[in-house]
Amino acid sequence: MSGSVTLPADFSEALKQAVRAINAADHLRVISHYDADGLSAASVMASALKRANKQFHLSMIKGLDPEAIERISKEGSGTILFLDMGCGQIDGLEKLDAKVVVLDHHKPIRKSKKVIQVNPHFYGMDGMTEACGATVSLLLAAVLDPKNWDLAPVAIAGMIGDRQHMGGMKGVNLQVLDHAVENKIISVQRGLNLKGKTILDAIAKSVDPYFVGLSGREENAIAFLESIGLNPTSSMGALEDIFRRKLTSMLSLRLMGQGCRPETVEELVSDVYWIPSLDLGAADLADLLNACGRMDHEGLGVALSMGDKDSIEKADELRTEYNKNILEKLMSIESDGVEELEHIQYFTAPDSSLAGAECGLAMQYILDQSRPTLALSTVKEKVKVSSRGTKYLISKGLDLSAALKKAAEGVGGNGGGHSVASGATVPKGKEEEFLKCVDETVGKQLA
């Protein structure tokens, strides 16, 4: 491959040190995070180690806490590689009776003499926006063998999974992207920001964006596509320019028609990072990996990003299942509406783990844009509350963090978060009092 990525000398040195530790090991224990970035980082590393004929045992975990470190310590000594995690638990990792290498991008606590840490934060870079776990994993793989640059598309899915592409790629991520484009293993095109193999899937199964009247309603989606002269079963990648433009304008019109804010409509078209070898967009791959992690099928995520075509299909089914409950909830909100107070609107969400996502999507795509949305879930003796506003409402003075905190504390609960998205927990039976207070506070904020 031509071209290269330029790194600060001390960053390159840390990567070389990590590679020396890997080369010295007969067998490696690899532990990564279960989200899209962690799975991308793991796939890149698994491919690189396989090519280097290294024996390894890979597993994904939800988080690295003292209990997890305790479990790992019982596996015995050797060489352990942590991906997309580890810098926050440096004390615990130093106690392990093993050679430990950490490739991470989260804010590190301190340097260590015992643990090899490769983290962009140490070299004047921002690990939040310029390099993710998969980026660091790819950089290491490329030092191991420059042939591994061909794994860049998977790393790019990791960047998108951690939302580092927002507002355009930056820093090392941009260098990796440019390098991949130059070597024709990624192509960047302005396009429809939809996920799915066929156009029909991309619309009928879509929760983000949620198309009123089409999402979850396959027959309507087929009729809509046929009415504009499109074959519902054709692949998103095979869509000719003229039809892509037609579909884009029709869908934009629909989003406007359902009352979405202009910034939401604009998100429909974005840079699409196309991976020809997988016949898949990198954002789509990130979304599939996210579903694999959430549904406890991490191995499938790794297999699919290593290029296994059957796995793509299986992961797609898993994503459909993961989205099913969210889609059903959004459809019922679309047809039945939600409860309204003077300045807020709210609904009950049976599954508290999906409430935040449902609340955000309902706010963005379905409900009245002039008041924030709350979702309430009863969990044992407590009610968990998620809330979402819009950027426009924030510019008008909305602060959901302050409103939920005040209202929750008033009824013996607690709350907080961001002005545009916040949460609260209140005792069961106090919901009404809580909602009334949030309504009043929001009313004052928006006055």
Interface positions with Mn ion (CB under 5 A):
37, 84, 132-133, 162
Cα distance between residue 60 and residue 28, in whole Å: 14
What's the min distance (Å) between Cβ of 110 and Mn ion? 20
What's the min distance (Å) between Cβ of 107 and Mn ion? 12
Residue nearest to Mn ion (CB): 37
Helix (H, G, I), strand (E, B) or coil at 209: coil
Between 88 and 410, CB nearer to Mn ion: 88
Cα distance between residue 423 and residue 311, in whole Å: 36
Contact at 8 Å (CB) between 442 and 344? yes
Residue in 435, 415, 412 with CA at minimum distance from that of residue 424: 415
Cα distance between residue 214 and residue 106, in whole Å: 39
What's the min distance (Å) between Cβ of 2 and Mn ion? 29
What's the min distance (Å) between Cβ of 129 and Mn ion? 12
Between 163 and 246, CB nearer to Mn ion: 163
Phi-psi region of 278 (alpha: psi -120 to 50; beta: other; left: phi over 0): alpha
Between 84 and 287, CB nearer to Mn ion: 84
Residue 8 has φ and ψ, to the nearest 5°, of -55, 145
The answer for residues whose C-beta is within 8 angstroms of residue 117's C-beta and 6 or more apart is: 14, 86, 87, 90, 102, 104, 108, 111
What's the min distance (Å) between Cβ of 105 and Mn ion? 6
Between 152 and 383, CB nearer to Mn ion: 152
What's the min distance (Å) between Cβ of 308 and Mn ion? 23
Helix (H, G, I), strand (E, B) or coil at 114: coil
Between 162 and 201, CB nearer to Mn ion: 162
The encoded tokens of residue 14 equal 């840390």
Between 132 and 355, CB nearer to Mn ion: 132
Q: How deeply is 139 buried, as exposed, middle or buried, from its count of CB atoms within 10 A (0-12, 13-18, 19+)? A: buried
Between 159 and 398, CB nearer to Mn ion: 159
Contact at 8 Å (CB) between 47 and 151? yes
Between 105 and 384, CB nearer to Mn ion: 105
Give strand ranges (E) for 119-170. Answer: none
What's the min distance (Å) between Cβ of 37 and Mn ion? 3
| Cα 190 from chain centroid (whole Å) | 21
What's the min distance (Å) between Cβ of 272 and Mn ion? 22
Q: Is the peptide bond before 209 cis (omega within 30 degrees of 0)?
A: yes
The encoded tokens of residue 91 equal 């004390």
Q: How many CA atoms are closer than 13 Å to the CA of 381, on its beta-carbon side?
A: 3
What's the min distance (Å) between Cβ of 87 and Mn ion? 11
Between 301 and 415, CB nearer to Mn ion: 301
What's the min distance (Å) between Cβ of 191 and Mn ion? 25
Between 130 and 431, CB nearer to Mn ion: 130
Q: What does R_g of the chain's alpha carbons equal in angstroms?
A: 23
Residue 417 has φ and ψ, to the nearest 5°, of 140, -135
| Cα 248 from chain centroid (whole Å) | 24
Residue in 296, 294, 130 with CA at minimum distance from that of residue 286: 294
